[in-house]
Amino acid sequence: MSLGVNDLVDELNSLKADFSKTVDRMIKDTKRQEKIMLRSDKRQQKEYDELQLRLNEVEALSKEVEETQREVVFTMGAIGESRSKETGNHVKRVALYSELFALYYGLDAKEAEMLKQASPMHDIGKVAIPDAILNKPARFTPEEFEKMKEHAVLGYDMLKFSQRPLLKMAATVAYEHHEKWNGSGYPRGTSGEDIHIYGRITAIADVFDALGSARVYKPAWEDEKIFTLFREERGKHFDPKLIDIFFEYLDEFLEIRNSLKDV
């Protein structure tokens, strides 16, 4: 009986020893695996940090490219206007009017912002119009007016091949900002909602600013005269909805004009 107990004790001690060895081995394996994982985590963290740095550099470069593109678009628009003896404030005002119209018309903020950036290019085609016509201090002859009208197509042709969204929008603006709601505009005589909303918006923004500004061929109009014309041209020259927006938010349009007066 005693021997049997001793044998059982010996067997239990043997099992205990084997268990301890197994546990020790598992602990060593776990610690080794932990070290491997830590090294792997550090390597992965380093790779992640390097990737994040590259992504940040790409994002910064992309923003720089976009900002440069906006500056180029605005500068080209200002050049087009300076050919006709106009100030840079004209394109700034038209840009802000266009953004305001776009937002109240229902375009989203991103699209409205892009239209603000593109609208200064509306008259870029004027760079190809002779000075004698562009700055004539009197009414155009029929032949001169036909030549002047070419600036819409010329501007479109300058921009139409670009695949950049901003310049594609600017091409549309240049091409369609002289179309009229009733189809009597140019260059194609498009009417109603067949005229792109970018063209319809820039048209009213440009006319509002042009009428209220002194030009080589005319003095600035009084506000009431402009307002009367806009009411008369609702559904003729201009999109009726845009005319309604103009009068509903008139104070905001006047605030923009007053904040960027010509000097």
Angle (CA) 253-111-198 rounded to 5° is: 65
**Which DSSP letter does residue 238 get?**
B
Note the Cα 106 to chain centre separation in Å: 15
Q: Could you give the CA distance from residue 172 to residue 164 in angstroms, rounded to a whole number? A: 13
Maximal CA-CA distance, the chain: 133
How does DSSP classify residue 215?
B
Residue 149 has phi, psi (to 5 degrees) of: -65, -20
> How many Cα atoms occupy the beta-carbon half-sphere of 51 within 13 Å?
6
| Candidate list 92, 116, 126, 180, residue with the active-site label | 126
DSSP 137: S
Name which of 220, 216, 227, 221 is nearest 251 in CA terms: 227
Q: In a 10 Å sphere around its CB, with 0-12 CB exposed, 13-18 middle and 19+ buried, how is residue 241 labelled?
A: middle
116 is catalytic: no
CB atoms within 10 A of CB 189: 12
Catalytic residue set = 126
